[in-house]
Structure 1
Amino acid sequence: MKKITQLLFILFPTLILSQVGIGTTNPDTELHIAGTNSTIRIESLNSSNNINNDGIKLAPVFVDGNGDLTLTPPNGTGGEPLNFLLDIPNFIPDNPHSLPFDSGVVINNNSTGETSVEGFIHSVTFTVPQTAVVEVKYGVTIVITDVDMTIPALSYITDNEARTIETFFCFDINNDGLDVIEKSKQFGQKAQFYASNWGGSLGYPYMNSQGYATLPPGTHSIHFFGIVNDSATSYTSVGFGGATDYLKMRVYN
C-alpha cells in the first residue's frame, strides 16, 4: 500500500505540468495565454531575421506540415513566397535637362557616322537582407525625334528609316561602382522598332521588361541603360522616362 501511494505522488505533478498557462493559473489547453491584450512574439519571423517580412506591412504566417509557423508558404499552396524590396512609380526624372517639355534622360545618335549609341539612364540603391532570387519588373516611357531634343526641339520623324531602341539593367554588387564584369551582365533586355513617314506622332510609348538574378545580402544598386540604333546618316534623339514609369523589385526565398 505504501508503494502505491508513492507512485500516485510521482504521477500527480506530471499531470499538472501537461498544461502551461501564461497570465492564468488555470490553463484550459496545453498552452493558454490569458489577457485581453495578450500577444505572441516570434523573433525568427521579424524583419531583421526573415526576408519575407519588410517591417512595413503585415506578413502572412503559414503552418507547414510539421506544424511550424513560417512566413514562407508550403509548396503548392498558391501563396507567394515573396516581398517587394522596391515599388517606385516614375523612378526616372521627368525633366533632368530642364527643357520646356518632359524629355526624360536624352540619348542622341547623330548623323555623322554613328549607328549605335549607349547611354546611362538612372540607378537606384536597395538592400537585400539575405541571399535570394530577385525579380525586377520595369516600364520606361520613350519619346523619339530626329533632332537633338536638348536644344530644345521636337519634330516628327518623316524619313521612313528604321530605328531600334533598347533598354537593359545591370547590378552593382555592394554599390561600390559598376565594374566591367558587372556591366557585362545585362538583364531585362528589351528592344522596340520604330519607323515613320508623314503622319507620325510624338508621344510616350512604354518599354516593359523583367529579369531575374541571385544576389547576396547587402546594399546594392541597379543601373538602367538605353541604346539607340539607326543608320549612319540618320539623327535620332530618344528621351527615356519623360512620362510616368515604374520599377518593382521583389525577392524569393
Structure 2
Amino acid sequence: MILDDLVAATTKRLVTEKSKLSLAALKAEVSQLPITKSTFAKTLQQPGLHIIGELKQASPSKGQIVTDFPYLQIAKEYALAQVTAISVLTEPDYFKGQLTYLEKVHQVTDLPLLRKDFTIDPYMIYQAKISGASIILLIVAILTDAQLHDYLHLAKDLGLDAIVEVHDAQEIRRALAANAKIIGINNRNLKDFSVDLQHSQQLRQLIPATIPVIAESGLKTPTDVKTVYQAGFNGVLIGESLMRAKNKVQLVQQFQAVI
C-alpha cells in the first residue's frame, strides 16, 4: 500500500535530517519561540464552509499535477480569496514538497498553515513549529494509539492544532479515543485511489457534531463541495483542482458560493 512506501521514505529522510540537526538542538530552537495557541479549531466551529487551499506539485495518485509552481504567488492568491488556511506539502519523494516552502509561505501570509506530511516522529512536529505551521496532520493509519495520544499532546504543548485523518469507522473510534479536536475524513481509498464521497458522508455520521470535520481528497467541483457541506462537514481541503485552475481566486469563490 502507498502509505507503507510513504512511511518508509519518511523514515529514511528523518535519518538524514536528524544527522544535520539533532532533536535536542531542534527543541532548543523551538524553546526560543513564543507559544501562541492556534485558533484554527475554533474557527472551524464558526458557521459556514471553511476552505483549506493546498500547495502541491504532485501526488502518488495523479503524478505530476503542475510543472509551473510559483507557490508564494499562489499562497497570496489563496489569501486574496479568503481561504481559512493553507496546506503546504513538505513530503519530497512522492509529492515534491519541501519544508522550505512552508517556511517561505509563513513569511508572506498570516493565515494558518498546515504542514502536510506523514508525521511519524516527534521531530517532525518540532520541525512544523519552527517552520511556521500552526496545524499538523496526524494519520491514524500510520500511528499506534500511543503515538497518536503523545503527538496530540505535544502539538497542544507547542500551540499547534492537529487534523487527525481517518479512512474508516475503526479509525474514527481511535481518533475519538485519543480526544482528537479536529478530524479529517479522506475520501480516497489508499489501496486503489478511488474516491467515494458517499462513503465519507456515512463516516461523518459517526463523529459528534461538536467536533469539526474536514473532507479531504477528490473534491473537484462546487457540486462536490456542496454535497459534503450538506452532509455536515465544516471544511474542505482542496488541492488538485485549485492547483490546475488558471483563476484560483475565482474557483475558491465558486466553492464558497455553494452555501
TM-score range, shorter chain: under 0.3
Structure number with greater CO (CA < 8 Å, separation at least 6) is 1
Q: Which has the higher helix share?
A: 2
**With structure 1 as the length reference, what TM-score do the two structures score?**
0.18
Q: Which has the higher strand share?
A: 1
User: Which of the pair has more CA radius of gyration?
Assistant: 1
**With structure 2 as the length reference, what TM-score do the two structures score?**
0.18
